[in-house]
A and B are shown apart, each in its own frame.
Chain A
Amino acid sequence: MHQEADRNRCFRRRTLLLGGLQVALFAGLATRLWQLQVRDAATYQLLAENNRISQRLTVPPRGVIVDRRGRALAVNAPTYRVRVVREQAGDLRRVLEALAEIVPLDARRIEEVVQQARLHRPFVPITVREDLSWEEVARIAVRGPELPGILLDSGLLRQYPHGPVTAHVVGYVGPVAEHELARETDPLLKLPDFRIGKSGIERAYDRELRGRAGLWRVEVNAIGREIREIDRNDGEEGADLQLSIDLDLQAYCMNRLAEQEAAAAVVLEVSTGAVLALASVPTYDPGAFAGGLSAALWRQLADDPRHPLVNKCIRGQYPPGSTFKMITAMAALEAGLVTPTSEVYCPGFMSLGNARFHCWKQHGHGRIALVQALAQSCDVYFYELARRVGIDALAAMARRFGLGETLGIDLPGEKPGLMPDSRWKRERLKQAWQKGETLVCGIGQGFVSATPLQLAVMTARLCNGGRAVRPWIVRGPHAHVHEGKGVPAPPVGVARANLELVLKGMFEVVNGPRGTAKASALPIAGTFMGGKTGTSQVRRISKTERALGAHKRMDRPREERDHALFVAYAPHDRPRYAVAVVVEHGESGAKAAAPIARDIMVEALKLEPGTPPGRLDMAARR
């Protein structure tokens, strides 16, 4: 019984305590109200009057994008627009209907604006119409006093002067999507017609290009009309970006590739990794995105089997074919498994177990050593090297030259390609590695795949004295990639003599009497190009097809034809530029890709050496 009594006493005490606490808390709140409403009432009444001060966000002009010589790639063009502020308009619908009598405005648009205005704070101006003519601007200005809440201002519209030529690099802007709003708190994103970078540099550097919102305060009278501007904080303009891209070279590449159905070309400066051109065909017009794209056009672009929206330089993953042979050579040389003079006999095939691995030359190259094996692209020689090296050492060497992983270029969506090794196959395919697969990988077939950018970087690292450069596009203080800020690249860590031997082979490919690309030597006296052809199978050749010679016929359906590749550097004695060209289903590296690479190289060599200091064309700003 006393337990019951104890508990009752405890409960009673604690209930009273809790009640007391509640009274105390309410007293605290009452004190707070006294502070706000009695003690500081005058201050807040003043502030409330100041609320007649209407605040507006000002949108900073988006940064301009220029090429390495200051030529405009993305600019802001003025456009006149009429906007409405809900808190000042009063009856929004009535005001818009009055406006419709002055400028063309259909009922559906009025409804849209009313809907949109509900979603935003009352002081946020909603764009009613863009791209007004001068006459329309004048008419609205004259009738202004009858239209409370209606604002006329000039906005900026993003334009790409070289549209399709730079589409994949520069990218485009578009309206802010729901998920982008959720990710960031920047008040700019909430503005009804704000545009955000959707692809390319516009997306990768969106924060830098965007700048920071300004705050503009104006005094408004009781019905919300502006009386005077009180102050104005312009925020921070978006940063201008200078790219490593050379507009002339880029345009040349796009032009030179234009006759191909689908192809990509990359030009790098070998000492820095600066990307001078990044061409991908087919392309599209980014200007069409700025003003909103019709659903039909979007579908057409997205469904095109040649993928015009995809930047094939960084997102196209192709078997590198024979362009991979430099890696196999470096792996064998570095491991000491081959010398410059050690020969391999090529009868046209190599047997492993009861499987036969064929050379592209049916009757074989006979006895052959490294330099000539590269020049003539002997498959059997590299099967043998790959067999000696083994897949894991081969993969390790490939990674040192930038294959099999993303290189961190400052563009969104870069693909890593694939450099398989025994662990990868065990983990991903749950299978043991087969010896035969090593041979196939040794000539850049099988599981191996690489992007054109990776092939260009590989070539640059081979010919720049073994520096592990990384590709970059934006230079200067805003650069995302370190090398874009002028920091030199670390060494790859291979012997110089071995690099020189491989380069000698690449020299012979183009300039030797038996080189696979001897038809594509530079037409410039005294200047030589090194390179390597690659013709990579899209599908396996069956025994019957080989016997019939069907695998070489041109009448195969397009999607079964081989990809044509070529990587090159020049000048041979003091390399400046590396080029990689991939022509999808182009049949032959020597015939389809090498001439393109040579022409691009000729054009690149016309550029003044080194990257010129930034000369910003400020006329491009507005």
Chain B
Amino acid sequence: MVAGPLGAEQSPSPGEKLARLAWPLVALVVLLGLVGYALLYSAAGGSHTPWALRHGIRLVVMTVLAVAIAMVDIRQLFRFAYPIYGVLLILLLAVEIVGEINKGAKRWIDIGIVQLQPSELMKLALVLALARYFHAAYLEEVRRPLFLVPPVLMILVPVGLVLKQPDLGTAGMLAMVGTAMLFLGGTAVWKFAAAGALAGAALPVAWSQLHDYQRQRVFTFLDPEADPLGAGYHIIQSKIAIGSGGFWGRGYLQGSQAQLSFLPEKHTDFAFTMLAEETGFVGALAVLALVLTITLAGMTVALRSESHFARLLAAGVTCNFALYAIINVAMVSGLIPVVGVPMPLVSYGGTAMLTVMLGLGLVLNAQVNRDTVIPRFPADL
């Protein structure tokens, strides 16, 4: 295929785009959001306030936003990938400096309507920037060690900043999404093994850098019974709630753990726990299946896209979405320490939903632009 100029002939009109949009995918995502709505209604003891209604409104607004993003010319995304990444890096630094001044963990910038959490949006920006970086790279280039220095820095700098906030969960997700991008970009597998060994060696150093409360979380995870009323409370109560749901669940609005307030943070990080208690193994499995379906649909978009940028973009964003769900469920079921990662579209919370829905917009964008060719080195960029 010859890299032509940025021709208008390859950019479909908005009408065409709307027509070819993967509406079933949109429907699945909205369905997941509606599960969240029903759950938050139950968490409030059968009330639309304070959570369910706001969740619903955000869902509607952000779905429109996602479709709007799908309408953008993918070459504009390509063009602005680095600037977007740069802006978020600056925001991250700004939060860091403000936090330094206030002597506390401040992770967000208050812009009035939403509290903007740059570390969340950074996940998407990182995917955009790395997709652009690897877009032009053939495998021979990727195999050169020096070629990998810039992308690794692009990952490590925000990871370091987020770790300093300190937000272990988000930092971990950023690192994992970044690693997935390197993998998809064609980095040799042995290099991951080497990096893994190196990270293992650096573990003691990292441990010494952790805050007391972070170490406490790890200890608590290893032995929750040691401190049943302190930090271990969340994990124990969550496992009890999930387990007591049984096969069919206790019934909607009937979960005694959640309703009797034994369950902490039932509307945010532990929303899935409540779902598992009230709807049982059947309901929990159904939601997991729904999340997996959305994930696989995203990966399919990646496989079907023409330009390398679009493929990497769709795959990276989808990995991010899947990671949310996997980490959250692993966390509430006691497989990993409590790191504060919400269940996408089910947990109450604006920033996480914004990240997921912006991500949906990016996947949809890749999907409607699947035939759009982006030259390796576009002339006007």
Contact = CB atoms under 8 A, between A and B. Distances in A.
B330 A51 contact: no
Contacts of A48: 240-241, 243-244, 256-257
B228 A26 contact: no
* Consensus secondary structure, chain B interface: helix
A86 B260 CA distance: 11
B291 A47 contact: no
A3 interface: yes
Interface stretch (B48-56, B179-187, B345-353): B179-187
Given A11-B311, A12-B303, A44-B243, A57 B139 contact: no
A37 B186 contact: no
Contacts of B315: 15, 18
Contacts of B22: none
Given A26-B288, A32-B333, A43 B243 contact: yes
B239 interface: yes
A422 interface: no
B245 A187 contact: no
A3 B140 contact: yes
Contact of A41 (B1, B183, B247, B335): B247
A7 B239 CA distance: 45
Contacts of B281: 33-34, 37-38
A41 B230 contact: no
Nearest to B189: A14
A73 B139 CA distance: 79
B132 to A, nearest CB: 15
A255 interface: no
A264 B151 CA distance: 67
B233 to A, nearest CB: 8
Interface in B209-250: 212-213, 216, 227-231, 233, 237, 239-247
A33 B302 contact: no
Interface in A204-255: 213, 215
Contacts of B184: 11, 14-15, 18
B298 to A, nearest CB: 9
B280 interface: yes
Contacts of A45: 243-244, 246
A44 B239 contact: yes
A7 B1 CA distance: 14
Given A18-B319, A47-B240, A10 B285 contact: no
A48 B256 CA distance: 8
Interface in B15-53: none
A55 B262 CA distance: 11
A107 interface: no
B75 interface: no
Contacts of B366: none
Contacts of B233: 121
A109 B123 CA distance: 46
A178 to B, nearest CB: 10
Interface in A428-467: none
Contact of A25 (B237, B303, B326): B326
Interface residues of A, number: 43
B229 A33 contact: no
B341 interface: no
Contact of A32 (B1, B299, B322, B335): B335
B369 interface: no
A41 B247 CA distance: 8
Nearest to A19: B299
A23 B318 CA distance: 13
Contacts of A57: 229
Contacts of A7: 138-139, 186, 308
Contact of B244 (A3, A12, A33, A41): A41
Contacts of A40: 243
A44 B186 contact: no
A22 B322 contact: yes
B261 interface: yes
A592 B229 CA distance: 59
Nearest to B261: A122
Contacts of B159: none
Contact of A26 (B213, B292, B311): B292
Contacts of B295: 19, 22, 26
A3 B139 contact: yes
A185 B230 contact: yes
A335 interface: no
A15 B302 contact: yes
Contacts of A102: none
A41 B326 CA distance: 22
A185 B231 contact: yes
A55 B333 contact: no
B292 A51 contact: no
Q: Which of A36, A57, A122, A215 has the most CB of B within 10 A?
A: A36
B329 interface: yes
Interface in B141-195: 180, 183-184, 186
B276 interface: yes
A51 B183 contact: no
Given A3-B139, A7-B139, A37-B280, A26 B183 contact: no
Interface in A154-206: 185, 187
Given A37-B284, A51-B257, A187-B230, A11 B216 contact: no
A293 B331 CA distance: 45
Interface in B76-96: none
Nearest to B256: A48
Contacts of A37: 242-243, 245-247, 276, 280-281, 284
A141 interface: no
A25 B231 CA distance: 27
A29 interface: yes
Contacts of B68: none
B296 interface: yes
Contacts of B139: 3, 6-7, 10
A16 B296 CA distance: 10
Contacts of B246: 37-38, 41, 45
Nearest to B180: A18
A296 to B, nearest CB: 30
A8 to B, nearest CB: 8
A550 interface: no
A379 interface: no
Interface in B287-323: 288, 291-292, 295-296, 299, 302-303, 308, 311, 315, 319, 322
Given A32-B333, A32-B335, A15 B299 contact: yes
Contacts of A86: 261
B216 A29 contact: no
A4 interface: yes
Contacts of B292: 22-23, 26
Contacts of B276: 33, 36-37
Contact of A51 (B1, B247, B262): B262
A158 B322 CA distance: 55
A32 B260 CA distance: 25
Interface in B261-286: 261-262, 264, 276, 280-281, 284-285
A23 B322 CA distance: 10
A415 B311 CA distance: 67
A185 B322 contact: no
Contacts of A25: 322, 326
13 contacts: A7-B186, A23-B292, A26-B288, A33-B242, A33-B281, A36-B333, A37-B280, A45-B246, A47-B243, A51-B257, A87-B260, A187-B229, A213-B229
Given A22-B319, A41-B243, 12 more contacts: A6-B139, A7-B139, A7-B186, A18-B315, A22-B322, A29-B329, A29-B333, A33-B288, A33-B329, A38-B246, A44-B242, A47-B243
Which 6 residue pairs are nearest across A and B when measured between Cβ atoms? A44-B243, A48-B244, A37-B281, A41-B246, A36-B243, A3-B138
Interface of B: 1, 138-140, 180, 183-184, 186, 212-213, 216, 227-231, 233, 237, 239-247, 256-257, 260-262, 264, 276, 280-281, 284-285, 288, 291-292, 295-296, 299, 302-303, 308, 311, 315, 319, 322, 326, 329-330, 333, 335
